[in-house]
Chains A and B, each alone.
Chain A
Amino acid sequence: MQKLFLILGIPLLSIGFWLSHEFKGIAAGVAIFLFGMLSLEQGFKAFTGGTLERILQKTTDTRIKSLGFGIVATTLMQSSSLVSIITISFLSAGLLDLASGIGIIFGANLGTSTGAWLIAGFGLKVDIAAYALPMLVFGILFIFQTRKKLKGVGFILTGLGFLFLGIDYMKDNFERIKDTIDLVEFAMPGIKGLLIYTAVGIAATVVMQSSHATMVLIITALAAQQITYENALALAVGSNIGTTITAIIGAFGANIDGKRLAWAHLIFNFFTGIVTLLFIPYFVVSVDWISDKIGINPSDYTLKLAVFHTLFNFAGIALLFPFIGYMVVFLQRFIKERKISIFMPKYLNSSAVEFPETMNESIRLETLHLYDNAIYVILRTFGLSRRDLQDNGQLLHTLMNQENPAEYDIENAYEKRIKGIYSAIIAFISRASFSPEHTPTAKLYWLRDANRHIVEAIKNTKHLQNNWLHFATSRYRYARDEYHKIAYQIALLIKQIDEFMKNIEADELPFVSLDALKTKIEEDDQLITRSIETLIRENKITPETGSSLINDSAYMFSIKTNLVKAAETLFLHNTHHLEPEHNLALNEAEIKTVVETLNP
């Protein structure tokens, strides 16, 4: 959708700029205004992570308080989007329930109408550009400060400066356009006009992703008498409906409650818009009456538009606020959490607990299942698959030619492929340990440790991932090569374990083969550490890169060691090999001795 706007928008805007100087000015005004809003949001974000959250927590414990918070926060921040985003993040963190979230969104709708008041009452009557320039200068001064809060103040000042400047641009160019074209010629009376201009309002807000910007555009055009009052009302209703698109787009990445909140936002604004359109003559009469009571000049249509904006949002709240509870039930029933397909245990069933041998074997097979999934996750992290392991040359080629390795969502993969099985195994072992039929055996403990080693290997891969993504395609050759070496060594070890497993029946002395693997890991670790030290000494990499490499080679060492330990349990401890073979396997100190003998 956004791409489509970009493809269509650039040529259309370019034609517009070429045809009309005023159109260029108005578009620039909108752009500056939107930039100001982004800056304002950035500024307020500096105050999140403490102060804002504390206030939010205290002021949203009842629905009425939530509504009040929505009104006040949006009035102060002049951005309902920011309030929506904070609300969604609070919902996701479980600090807020859906009903309170909906209350805030309702309040934010009323709060955002204060923007229309500010522009109509202040922005058009005062030369706001005069305030904009000093604000920008002071804002930039604050942005250059190192303290986060001062920086935040800077962004807020700059944001306000740009908002004012944008409004001024729009105001100026609408004034100028009056002399060349008369947009009033396009005015449409009656129901047709109402519906078409509502649709235009929706479209404009969807394109600009800001009801605030649309409202400014409407008010400035109305002030310059480029649109009729009647059409401006329809545009305002349209902008109120169109603004929900921001929340819906924002909710794509949110959890289920965030999505429900976005839908609540849509329901509220849609409902309010339809009610307003159906009863628009009554709203017009009410606006005239209120304006008369508060002393607004009957010909001051911009302020009357602000009254209208507030009034119909207030009407929406009055109609829907008592039904928030029903809305929550409705949303929870119709927007259900999509269950991600997680890998389930294949071999664990209650009948296996009856006999120690079947129990041990089912746990071993399930651990093997977990091991396979873990290998899949580890290889995918480095952009590899098991097929790449067939040929060492091909493996190296695949690693070196990853132009832009995609970030594999290891967190999600852990939830999907590992956690379910791992939890089931642990639960099964615990159940077996307390079973009266048999006492826990050493094999059971070994298997539990093997599972722990597998999970540990995944965790270390996750730690390694950040720098891998950063350095795998880095233009710094030496750092890049070292990271390729790390990934290659991990993949190679996986291949060696696969081969070891395949040949285990024919291998007369499998413990010697396994010790050889352990020795190789130790040797590689020493070699890579030496290589990094040399690169730092010869100024081929910076000490910072060197320290990252040292940390990551430690993660590599841990991944490899954990995989070998898991393999040892899975393929040797539970097989028929003779007990003395286990006792003769080398310990860590003996492995080190072998490495030292081989590399004096």
Chain B
Amino acid sequence: MKAKFLTQLEHFFDPEHKKTKHYANELKTVLGKLKKKERELAEALEQTTDQELAKLYQTEFEIIRIQRKKGLDILQAIRKDRQQNR
């Protein structure tokens, strides 16, 4: 209990740790937006009959898929790093 408190205190005064945490939170927000958009695009893709529009949705869908994967990888790396430092 005491050790956990000390670690938390240490993190509180460590600017680098604060920065990483802030970054991870922002990343989560962006990933949330991306996931929402991905879902919307999937629905739009199912409904549209316009081929040109479908192509546009498909492109954005692919881009979001890769961006999300990249984001999740970064988030995982941050978590791993945090666990190792504990």
Closest 8 pairs between A and B when the two form their complex, measured CB to CB = A580-B27, A584-B67, A515-B63, A578-B26, A594-B62, A580-B30, A580-B26, A584-B70
Q: Given that A509-B37, A512-B37, A579-B23 are contacting pairs, would A598 and B67 also be in contact in the complex, using a CB cutoff of 8 Å?
A: no
Closest to B67 in A: A584
Instruction: Encode contact with A along B66-82: 1 for CB under 8 Å, 0 otherwise.
Output: 11001100100000000
Chain A stretch 560-585: residues in CB contact (< 8 A) with chain B:
578-581, 583-585
Q: From the candidates B37, B59, B74, name the one contacting A508 in the complex (CB within 8 A).
A: B37
Is A512's CB under 8 angstroms from B63's CB? yes
Q: Is the interface of A mostly helix, strand, loop or mixed?
A: helix
Does any Cβ of B come within 8 Å of A358's Cβ? no
Does any Cβ of B come within 8 Å of A511's Cβ? yes
Chain B: minimal CB distance from A61 (Å): 67
The number of chain A residues touching the other chain, given as a range, is: 20 to 34
Q: Is the interface of B mostly helix, strand, loop or mixed?
A: helix
19 pairs, A vs B, C-beta closer than 8 Å: A508-B33, A509-B33, A512-B37, A512-B63, A512-B64, A516-B59, A516-B63, A519-B62, A520-B59, A578-B26, A578-B29, A580-B26, A583-B74, A584-B67, A586-B66, A594-B66, A597-B62, A598-B55, A598-B59
A89 to B64, CA, bound (A): 60
Q: Which residues of A contact B27 (CB under 8 A)?
A: 580
Does any Cβ of B come within 8 Å of A593's Cβ? yes
Interface residues in chain B, defined as those with a beta carbon under 8 Å from any beta carbon in chain A: 23, 26-27, 29-30, 33-34, 37, 55-56, 58-60, 62-64, 66-67, 70-71, 74
Chain B: minimal CB distance from A481 (Å): 20
Q: From the candidates B26, B37, B60, B66, name the one contacting A590 in the complex (CB within 8 A).
A: B66
Is B66's CB under 8 angstroms from A516's CB? no
Chain A stretch 463-493: residues in CB contact (< 8 A) with chain B:
none
A584 to B34, CA, bound (A): 11
Q: Which residues of B contact A578 (CB under 8 A)?
A: 26, 29-30
Chain A stretch 65-82: residues in CB contact (< 8 A) with chain B:
none
Is A580's CB under 8 angstroms from B34's CB? no
Interface residues in chain A, defined as those with a beta carbon under 8 Å from any beta carbon in chain B: 508-509, 511-512, 515-516, 519-520, 578-581, 583-586, 590, 593-594, 597-598
Is A581's CB under 8 angstroms from B30's CB? yes
Chain A: minimal CB distance from B69 (Å): 9
Q: Which residues of A contact B64 (CB under 8 A)?
A: 509, 512
Is B74's CB under 8 angstroms from A580's CB? yes
A593 to B59, CA, bound (A): 11
Chain A: minimal CB distance from B16 (Å): 15
Closest to A590 in B: B66
Chain A: minimal CB distance from B82 (Å): 16
Closest to A514 in B: B63
Q: Which residues of A contact B29 (CB under 8 A)?
A: 578
Starting from the known contacts A512-B64, A580-B30, A590-B66, 13 additional A-B residue pairs (CB-CB under 8 Å) come to A508-B37, A511-B67, A512-B67, A516-B56, A516-B63, A520-B59, A578-B26, A578-B29, A580-B71, A584-B30, A584-B70, A594-B66, A598-B59
A520 to B63, CA, bound (A): 12
A516 to B30, CA, bound (A): 17
Q: Which residues of B contact A594 (CB under 8 A)?
A: 59, 62-63, 66
A211 to B37, CA, bound (A): 81
A401 to B12, CA, bound (A): 68
Q: Which residues of B contact A598 (CB under 8 A)?
A: 55, 58-59, 62
A584 to B73, CA, bound (A): 11
Is A593's CB under 8 angstroms from B66's CB? yes
Q: Select the residue from A511, A584, A594 with max chain B CB neighbours within 10 A.
A: A584
Q: Which residues of A contact B56 (CB under 8 A)?
A: 516
Chain B: minimal CB distance from A283 (Å): 86
A520 to B62, CA, bound (A): 13
A579 to B26, CA, bound (A): 8
Q: Which residues of A contact B55 (CB under 8 A)?
A: 598
Q: Which residues of B contact A509 (CB under 8 A)?
A: 33-34, 37, 64
Chain B: minimal CB distance from A429 (Å): 28
Q: Which residues of A contact B26 (CB under 8 A)?
A: 578-580
Q: Which residues of B contact A583 (CB under 8 A)?
A: 70, 74
